[in-house]
Amino acid sequence: MTDLAADLTDHLPHWTDVYRDLHAHPELGFAEHRTAATIVRELTATGGWEVTGRVGGTGVVAVLRNGPGPTTWLRADMDALPVTEETGLAYASAEPGRMHACGHDVHVSALLGACRQFAAHPGAWAGTLVAIFQPAEEIGQGARAMLADGVLERFPRPDLVLGQHVGPFPAGLTATRPGPLMAAADSLRITLYGAGAHASTPQFAVDPIVAAAALVLRLQTFSARQAPVSPATVLTVGAIHAGTVPNVIPHTAELLASLRTFDTGAREKALAEIRRIVRAEAQAQGATREPGLEVYDSFPLTVNTPAATARVAAALNAQPLPAPLAASEDFGAFGTAAGCSSVFFHFGGADPAAFSPDALAGVLRGALPAEVATNHSPRFAPSDRLAVPAGIRHLLTVVAALHAGQEPTPG
Ligand SMILES: [Zn+2]
Ligand SMILES: [Zn+2]
């Protein structure tokens, strides 16, 4: 049987170039036009893939059919973050205020590199592969946009959806777990309505800033005293906006909060409790209007199907993650909508030389050497020599294990 990675090393310099180019030209969610054009160009050059652009906005879907066998969706997200890069790399972002600070450029380059190998070695696997290049992961909308645009109906339905994410661990390391892998996340916009007045006459006002302050403390009591402890519900108020000057009590105050939960029941319960607390706190302050509570930028729970996860983890020789991560992904939306198996795993993109043996042992528990920057940091810099090749090899390894091809007939 042909090895899917047989001639991979000949092509790695090209995928490194593609990676550096994507890294230098980051685009935010639903604005990944140049990125999509690069994907279409590379897949067309590879040949064999049926390529469809503009799926769910800037998404690209490519299909490669290779006889009877299972259908696997390989998903890479495409978008960058509104972060100003501070890596000092030669190929650093050329766009001020935008950066591939989460490594989605690694994911795209790795999937493109793997797509080339699948097309070049049809004897090494069987079935159907669908490459899903998804926009707007960071705002939690891209997967839903592709689903709303009929990605399940227009392309072969998956038996398995597979996704990978690069992180600040040594290249060569993969990690995952069955069941809940990453938290559900919801952004909340809470608006408190008071009645403004001169700062010298608070008795004529309903002060929304005092209400907001009380509410922040009350919400912390909720997450510390009422919400499930293990796995923990996390609630963080990340922004408060109210008022403009010292001598005016404003009319309104706005709080932005992030809620992380690890099961659907905990999420529903937390949202109901938060709603009750917000309403009661507003009432306690004599609010002039019902408070507003808007849930936006929702990420679903990422749950790995146990049987499929066991096969993928065995193929990759993945490390077992001891607990779910509080970070979030919208990847899970595909498997949930398709009602199929879903497996997501994390992998290292950093140079192992940066890790002492002691540091290596701590990595899976989230302890990182001080000089290694994490995802979303302006200094996040996966190795341009190691991260993309690692990402390519993972996809080849999993497909070789799950899509075993026919031995060529002799003669
Ligand atoms: Zn991210
Ligand atoms: Zn990411």
**Which secondary structure element, helix H or strand E, spans residue 12, and what is its range?**
helix 8-24
Region 141-149: what's the mean pLDDT? 97
Region 139-162: what's the mean pLDDT? 97
User: Would you name the residues annotated as active-site residues?
Assistant: 77, 138
Q: Does domain 184-299 have CATH number 3.30.70.360?
A: yes
Which ligand is nearest the CA of 166, by number?
A: 2
pLDDT tens per residue, range 22-44? 999 999 999 999 999 999 999 99
Class of domain 8-182+301-402: alpha beta
Which ligand is nearest the CA of 106, by number?
A: 2
Report the alpha-carbon distance of residue 343 to residue 310 in Å, rounded: 9
| Beta partners for residue 343, in sequence order | 162
86 closest CA partner among 379, 375, 371:
379
Region 352-371: what's the mean pLDDT? 77
Predicted pLDDT of residue 105: 98
Predicted pLDDT of residue 311: 98
CA of 376 from ligand 1 middle (Å) equals 6
Residue carrying the six token digits 């992030």: 258
72 closest CA partner among 161, 143, 194:
161
Predicted pLDDT of residue 411: 41
Residue 1: pLDDT above 50? no
pTM for the model stands at 0.88
pLDDT band for position 288 (cuts 50, 70, 90) = confident
CA of 328 from ligand 2 middle (Å) equals 8
CA of 69 from ligand 2 middle (Å) equals 30
Q: How many CB atoms lie within 10 A of CB 168?
A: 22
pLDDT tens per residue, range 75-106? 999 999 999 999 999 999 999 999 999 999 99
Which ligand is nearest the CA of 103, by number?
A: 2
Q: What are the backbone angles phi and psi of residue 310, rounded to the nearest 5°?
A: -60, -40
Predicted pLDDT of residue 270: 93
CA of 165 from ligand 2 middle (Å) equals 7
Out of 21-30, 219-228, 349-358, which region has the weakest mean confidence (pLDDT)?
219-228
Say if residues 89 and 70 touch (Cβ distance below 8 Å). Answer: no
Residue 155: pLDDT above 90? yes
pLDDT band for position 226 (cuts 50, 70, 90) = confident
CA of 229 from ligand 2 middle (Å) equals 26
Two structure tokens written together for 296: 């936006």
Predicted pLDDT of residue 232: 79
Region 128-134: what's the mean pLDDT? 98
Domain-by-domain residue ranges, the chain? Answer: 8-182+301-402, 184-299
Indicate the average pLDDT of the chain. 93
Report the alpha-carbon distance of residue 98 to residue 80 in Å, rounded: 7
pLDDT band for position 406 (cuts 50, 70, 90) = low
How many contiguous H segments (helices) and E segments (strands) does the chain have? Answer: 11, 16
Predicted pLDDT of residue 73: 98
Report the alpha-carbon distance of residue 23 to residue 221 in Å, rounded: 42
Residue 46: pLDDT above 80? yes
Say if residues 228 and 236 touch (Cβ distance below 8 Å). Answer: no
Report the alpha-carbon distance of residue 22 to residue 17 in Å, rounded: 9
Residue 409: pLDDT above 90? no
Residue 70: pLDDT above 50? yes
